[in-house]
Structure 1
Amino acid sequence: MKKILSAILAADMFGYSRLMENGEIDVITRQSQYLKDIIQPEILNRNGTLIKTTGDGFLAIFNTVQESVESAIAIQTRMILMEEPLPHDQKIQYRLGINAGDLILNDNDIFGDSVNIAARLEGLSVPDGICLSDIIYQLINDDTKNLFEDLGSQRVKNISRPIKVWQWDPRSQKVERKKSSEELQQQVQFCLSEDDAQIAFARVGTGATILKAPNWLNHIEYEWRSPIWGPLLNKIATQHELIRFDQRGGGLSDWDVSKISEDRMISDMINVVHAAGLERFTLLGISQGCAFSIRYAFENPEKVNGLILFGGYVRGRLMRNSEESKILHETAQSLIAAGWGSNNPAFRTFFTSSFIPDATVQQASSFDELQRVSTSAKNGARIQQMNATVDVSELAKQLKIPCLVLHCEGDQITPHDEGRRMAALIPGSQFVTLEGNNHALIESTPAFDKFVLEVTNFVKGLS
């Protein structure tokens, strides 16, 4: 028996008795899977210790306050996404409470007032939410503080003094996103490629048509509701008809395909355009999608009235005559082979921290999950290899259509110089440098707002 100072995370399942009454085997099966795939990995990934599990909850401790809160947000974010397809009365919804203080550790259990307060805090939380004591709130960083709302002083059972409480409520985090989703419902369809692979595409919105080429990781349904891509896709679809598709080998398209290549990507784009009945449109390329958009536009100039290229390149990592780019490619391939799809998110965190270093904990967790659901390790490596060997420099020089190129100044995946090089090769193209270090566009950042403004004005100018 010993006394230690820790941050304590307590969790219980909202409506546990009702859920068990309606289908205990299903609930226990899902709960066990979430414990293995989400809860334990997210606790371990932030240096926490899972002390014990109960029928309807769990207890964990952490060495730092910041890591306890990051772990809680990551767990709730992933749980919400996994349970979203289910009817409301069948969802597993945890409530989490976090406190810090001295506790007694004895025989793989913990005791003390600080533990009791954490347990009382979770009882104050909304389903899928998190409640913090004020001592926790005061010690987390400002970006994380901004995610919590002041609930004031609360009295809880068996604690004599009032406790100041702060709450993370996913409903308030997603108010604008939910409203947009209710107003805009995308339609998912499928078409067949030349080699009989099924390619999934989605269309939503009205107005001038924008076709988005796939970037490295895609899942047209997951992205639509994610805090990373969802806000941007909704912004575009409120003013335009937006069509996207999942590349072969990932998302809702066929994963078991014999070929993943530049030629197949272009033929799949042609088939999606035909299946969607598109006559003329603006082509949006993000990251890898820039190179493929350039080739498609060169080979099909009658279809494309303008190009929007963000965070991309004309030459892949192995085509840049750069030892650093070669090492980055080989490192990424090794990490994909070693840890893609692993229950331990540490492997995926390598990519997340490079793609979106300025993201919130919730956004980073969603991007981690996108990697897991978007494709397999084998296909992820095949797509990476395809991208590394692409070079459309000569085609870019011959384009004769309006083009807008945008790139974040601190992009850690594709250097700013590669975006500027792309703009220099395309005759008459506009080049816009965006603030920030992200390779993806995240809502409520200057880069996001500037991108939306520039794209809106560019598309208007094409009509």
Structure 2
Amino acid sequence: MAERRLASILAMDVVGYSALMEKGRDELLRALDQVFRSSVRPKVKAHGGRVVKLMGDGAIVEFGSARDAVLCAAEIQEWMRSDSIPYGFSEQLALRMGIHAGDVTASAGDIFGEAVNVAARLEAAAPEGGVLISKLVADLAGSSLPLTFRNEGIHRFKNIEEPLHVLSIVAKRDDFASKKKIPDAREDIRFAKSDDGVRLAWTAAGTGAPLVKAPAWISRLDMDLRLPHLAHFVRSFSQSHRFIRFDARGNGLSDRDIPEITFEQMVEDLRTVFDAAKVESSAILSMSQGCAVAAAFAARYPERVKGIVMVGGFPLGRAKRHTQRDRDRAVAMQAMMKAGWDDDYPSLRDMMADIIVPLASVEDRRQFAEAMRDMVTPEIISRYRKVLDDIDVTDILSEVKAPCLVLHCDGDRMHPAEQGRLMASHLPNARFVTYESASHLPSANDPCWPQIKSEILEFLDQFC
């Protein structure tokens, strides 16, 4: 009798099987038998999987857990890369793999369904020794895996109706080599004092030309490398720059018990950090409200700004926009933040995480929401939100002489792409680029992130 169930499917095959058969059929079959007996079957069993069928050059494996499927695939490929595999064949053997999750139908010991078909398509597209997984599998597996994933973008596969967001598992050796180059800024937190006596926590990672980040939304420096909206920015740009960032007044590790918060103070706090880091002039990376802060800073101190990258920015806060709906939302959001910021799941913070990084995994969004609780108090976030809603820099944008790269996702629900277009249209030396995404701040697995990263690096190169 047929049974339907949810499963994670791992499809694998041998790279170049037909050509290898011509070089020695019996030797190849003995080598493959050794591979399956020494690695594949034991690791599948250890992770609670079931080898459904062998197909000469490959296999279909079923798991009840996406996490187990991903870990098993990574471990098998790591074993295949080892220097002393006892399979006694003249050629180096390599596997490629694909993993997808979904409903399957089990009948007479076999399984059928879209999850099997998609896993097979991913396997066929995987590189030699590689593993491709769908984003659904990555979301189900969670972010606590001891693995690194690389975003491979959106792909269409034959006979699969919907396009698929694909990631690859980064080999441990490559991951270790790349991480060795990434400075860790968590232990280098310093404090600068603003003109009105507020202590601002700041840090720097990497070497090279300075790149100063204007504060975006809320933050806490010792959490930056764990959160989906910022970790990949820090890791990417600290490899080529001295990447300087700080917590805005009222949140994170900066002073929270402060008498007032104003947009004017935010601009001057940026100057304070420039001075503390001994930066005479620099490019600025800005996101969300940080774009308006960076623009105001550049208009006031033109000699200190070489260029500005703006991601998801807006020149007009909600309270200054032209529709009553936006103005009503500004008032409602301020009240909700003061009254419900500390709520348990599902909270206002969860909603914010879903809007800011909608393409991050479910687990990463949940972690982001919990981290926001530790970044700022309910009373401060309400006051902070009011300052952001009252932003209006349209009158001073014409004074910004530095070149600006204005980037915006076309489906941004926090601040629509029209705000980015408005920002760029008032800047005398700006380039406006939109991306197909629902993100406010793109996470590392957002399909548009590689394009955004490349665009930013190309823009920054002119200032190095």
Give the TM-score, by structure 2 length: 0.64
The corresponding residue for 1:244 is 245
- The question of whether the paired residues in 2 share the 8 Å contact of 1:248 and 1:260 is answered with yes
The alpha-carbon distance between structure 1 residues 317 and 179, as it changes in their structure 2 partners (threshold 3 A), is farther
The alpha-carbon distance between structure 1 residues 422 and 169, as it changes in their structure 2 partners (threshold 3 A), is closer
Distance 2:205 2:389 in 1: 31
| Structure-to-structure mapping, 1:57-68, within 5 angstroms | none
Please state if 1:303 is matched with 2:304.
yes
Distance 2:184 2:193 in 1: 23
- The question of whether the paired residues in 2 share the 8 Å contact of 1:262 and 1:390 is answered with yes
The corresponding residue for 2:386 is 385
Distance 1:242 1:448 in 2: 19
Residue aligned with 2:222, SS:
helix
Distance 1:180 1:245 in 2: 25
Q: CA RMSD in A?
A: 3.3
The corresponding residue for 2:348 is 347
- The question of whether the paired residues in 1 share the 8 Å contact of 2:341 and 2:347 is answered with no
The corresponding residue for 2:213 is 212
The corresponding residue for 1:203 is 204
Identity of aligned residues (%): 27
Instruction: For residue 178 of structure 1, report the CA deviation from its aligned partner.
Output: 7.3
Distance 1:219 1:348 in 2: 15
- The CA deviation string for residues 336-393 of structure 1, in whole angstroms up to 9 with x for no partner, is 1222122334332221222222322122112212311211111111111001111111
Distance 1:347 1:98 in 2: 38
Residue aligned with 2:212, SS:
strand
The corresponding residue for 1:170 is 145
- The question of whether the paired residues in 1 share the 8 Å contact of 2:200 and 2:249 is answered with yes
Distance 1:362 1:180 in 2: 24
Instruction: For residue 124 of structure 1, report the CA deviation from its aligned partner.
Output: 12
The corresponding residue for 2:373 is 372
Give the TM-score, by structure 1 length: 0.64
Instruction: For residue 144 of structure 1, report the CA deviation from its aligned partner.
Output: 3.1
Amino acid at match of 2:340: G
The alpha-carbon distance between structure 1 residues 98 and 354, as it changes in their structure 2 partners (threshold 3 A), is farther
The corresponding residue for 1:185 is 184
- The question of whether the paired residues in 2 share the 8 Å contact of 1:216 and 1:383 is answered with no
Distance 1:178 1:396 in 2: 44
- The CA deviation string for residues 35-89 of structure 1, in whole angstroms up to 9 with x for no partner, is xxxxxxxxxxxxxxxxxxxxxxxxxxxxx999xxxxxxxxxxxxxxxxxxxxxxx
The corresponding residue for 2:135 is 143
Distance 1:409 1:211 in 2: 26
Amino acid at match of 2:404: C
Distance 1:395 1:250 in 2: 27
Please state if 1:253 is matched with 2:254.
yes
Amino acid at match of 1:145: V
- The CA deviation string for residues 283-317 of structure 1, in whole angstroms up to 9 with x for no partner, is 11100001110000011111111111110111111
The corresponding residue for 1:402 is 403
Instruction: For residue 221 of structure 1, report the CA deviation from its aligned partner.
Output: 1.5
The corresponding residue for 1:232 is 233
- The question of whether the paired residues in 2 share the 8 Å contact of 1:298 and 1:399 is answered with yes
Amino acid at match of 1:185: D
The corresponding residue for 2:271 is 270
- In structure 1, the gaps of 5 or more residues are 1-6, 8-63, 67-96, 100-116, 127-135, 150-166
Distance 1:364 1:315 in 2: 27
| Structure-to-structure mapping, 1:15-94, within 5 angstroms | none
Instruction: For residue 139 of structure 1, report the CA deviation from its aligned partner.
Output: 4.5
Distance 1:297 1:273 in 2: 12
- The CA deviation string for residues 390-423 of structure 1, in whole angstroms up to 9 with x for no partner, is 1111110122111110000100000100100100
Amino acid at match of 1:144: L
The corresponding residue for 1:413 is 414
Task: Kindly tell me the number of residue pairs found equivalent between the two proteins.
Answer: 327
Distance 1:345 1:336 in 2: 14
- In structure 2, the gaps of 5 or more residues are 9-46, 50-62, 72-99, 105-114, 116-133, 150-171
Distance 1:388 1:330 in 2: 9
Instruction: For residue 179 of structure 1, report the CA deviation from its aligned partner.
Output: 6.4
Distance 1:459 1:246 in 2: 23
Residue aligned with 1:302, SS:
helix
Distance 2:66 2:238 in 1: 40
The corresponding residue for 1:133 is none
Amino acid at match of 1:438: S
The corresponding residue for 1:28 is none
Distance 1:169 1:205 in 2: 26
- The question of whether the paired residues in 2 share the 8 Å contact of 1:180 and 1:234 is answered with no
Residue aligned with 2:319, SS:
helix
The alpha-carbon distance between structure 1 residues 220 and 173, as it changes in their structure 2 partners (threshold 3 A), is same
The alpha-carbon distance between structure 1 residues 223 and 121, as it changes in their structure 2 partners (threshold 3 A), is closer
Amino acid at match of 2:337: I
The alpha-carbon distance between structure 1 residues 450 and 124, as it changes in their structure 2 partners (threshold 3 A), is closer
Distance 1:429 1:121 in 2: 44
Distance 1:321 1:203 in 2: 39
Distance 1:427 1:222 in 2: 36
Amino acid at match of 1:383: Y
The alpha-carbon distance between structure 1 residues 268 and 363, as it changes in their structure 2 partners (threshold 3 A), is same
Residue aligned with 1:242, SS:
strand
Distance 2:384 2:7 in 1: 39
Amino acid at match of 1:170: L
